[in-house]
Amino acid sequence: MGGTVQRSRIVATEPIVIHRADPRWSVEFRTLATPLRAVLGPVALRIDHVGSTSVPGLDAKPVIDIQLSVRNLEPTDPYRVPLESLGYTFQPENPDRARRAFRWPPGQRRTHLYARTAGSFEEQLNLLFRDHLRSDPAAREDYARVKWELAERDRNDRAGYVQSKEPTVWEILRKAHQ
């Protein structure tokens, strides 16, 4: 889901391709989360699998989204240094000030890792979105249909794809809140 849509244009280095839901995605998350938990210890208040691959039965881009919940985003050293020891690269130019972004280690599967403040609106929004899609088959099917359509239309325009999903994401969140 990603929370706030960034208005800057994202240059696609590869086309957007949606894959059929894969039950191995949850296993891959656990494989990635184990070393994170080991190096972060109590700094990580939560490590959650979020985004489309965290929803069983939801077709998605095969990217594991990891939400790391920390007490404070600043200073970054308590979580940045351990993450860098695993090969993650801090992305200080990320314009979304409600999170800190990390690029996946070279040679590892594509992963989005974002640190967020525990209990924050952004953290809770991601969990609400995920949990609603897990519990509502109709919402899950509608979201998958939209993703397939937009991936076809915006195959080489990541920013356009993300922006075009925004009304559907907010409608799902509105229903989840009810």
74 assigned to some structural domain: yes
- Asked if the model's pLDDT at residue 105 lies above 60, the reply is yes
Please check whether residue 12 lies inside any domain of the structure: no
- Number of independent structural domains in the chain: 1
Q: Which domain holds residue 49?
A: 24-177
Residue 143 lies in a domain: yes
Extended strands (E) in 22-177 = 46-50, 64-70, 89-90, 100-103, 111-117
Question: Of residues 31 and 14, which shows the higher confidence score?
Answer: 31
Is the CA virtual torsion 108, 24, 49, 51 positive or negative? positive
SS3 44: coil
* pLDDT tens figures, 58-74: 999 999 999 999 999 99
CATH of the domain at 53: 3.30.460.10
Each residue of 132-169: pLDDT tens digit?
A: 999 999 999 999 999 999 999 999 999 999 999 999 99
The whole-number pLDDT of residue 14 equals 84
The verdict on residue 92 lying in a domain is yes
Q: Does residue 66 form part of some domain?
A: yes
33-55 residue pLDDT tens = 999 999 999 999 999 999 999 99
Flag whether 13 is in a domain.
no
Report, as an integer, the average pLDDT of 81-100: 95
Q: Is 80 helix (H, G, I), strand (E, B) or coil?
A: helix
- The token duo for 117 is 């403040």
- The verdict on residue 6 lying in a domain is no
8 — pLDDT class (breaks 50, 70, 90): very low
Mean pLDDT for the stretch of residues 16-45: 97
